[in-house]
Amino acid sequence: MQQLSESLKSLYDTDYNLWVLETVKHLKKGDFEAVDLENLIEEVLDLSKRDKRKLASLLTLLFEHLLMWQYWEAETERNRGHWEREITNFRLQIVRLLEDSPSLRNYLDDQLSQCYQDGCKLASRHSQLPLETFPEKAIANLDQVLDENWFPRVSK
């Protein structure tokens, strides 16, 4: 059995997809001795990290588009429909991920400020507006940002 487990460990480094298929096969058969537990544990932990990274990325992009909506006056008329669609899309993706893993809501609350700051940087780069154009603190809390009916007031 030790040799089989070592073989799977080697497979992990040389053919990840085949490693996954072999691991699933062993798990389904209840052949737990043959499972590469070390790498399997790492992969399971990484699933949570991937969801966290995805949520933070989506929230950052959502803030970017909300900020362009609110502050990039020169492009509002031409881009409003596109921004609305992107804002809606990011909200839907975030809500779906949170429905699958409600415990990640706390993580997203904790990351709100950092995602907002990153969104400011992206909006500044995209719009060529100075970073100082955007407020230092987030323009909304998480509930507002995810509310499909909420849009920031357009700056005048």
Which alpha helices (DSSP H) does 72-153 contain, by range?
73-100, 104-127, 142-146
Q: In the predicted model, what is the mean pLDDT of residues 90-107?
A: 96
Reported as a pLDDT band with limits 50, 70 and 90, residue 9 is confident
Question: In the predicted model, is pLDDT for residue 7 greater than 90?
Answer: no
In this prediction, residue 91 carries a pLDDT of 98
Rg for the chain, CA atoms, rounded: 22
Q: Using one digit for the tens of pLDDT, what is the confidence trace for 40-81? A: 999 999 988 999 999 999 999 999 999 999 999 999 889 999
Nearest-CA neighbor of 70 among 140, 142, 147? 140
How many degrees, rounded to 5, is the angle at CA 124 between CA 118 and CA 126? 105
- The tokens of 98 are what? 């949170």
Spatial neighbors of 8 by CB under 8 A, at least 6 apart, are: 19, 22, 23, 26, 34, 35, 36, 39
Q: Using one digit for the tens of pLDDT, what is the confidence trace for 107-122? A: 999 999 999 999 999 9
Question: In the predicted model, is pLDDT for residue 4 greater than 60?
Answer: no
Distances (CA, A) of 16 to 27, 40, 42, 47: 16, 11, 13, 15
Q: In the predicted model, what is the mean pLDDT of residues 90-102?
A: 97
* Domains of the chain, residue spans: 1-35, 50-146
- The tokens of 60 are what? 């950052």
Q: In the predicted model, what is the mean pLDDT of residues 1-27?
A: 82
Nearest-CA neighbor of 141 among 104, 108, 92, 95? 108
In this prediction, residue 76 carries a pLDDT of 86
In this prediction, residue 3 carries a pLDDT of 59
Return the percentage of the chain with pLDDT > 70, whole number.
95
Cα–Cα distance for residue pair 25/8, rounded to 1 Å:
12
Q: In the predicted model, what is the mean pLDDT of residues 117-130?
A: 97
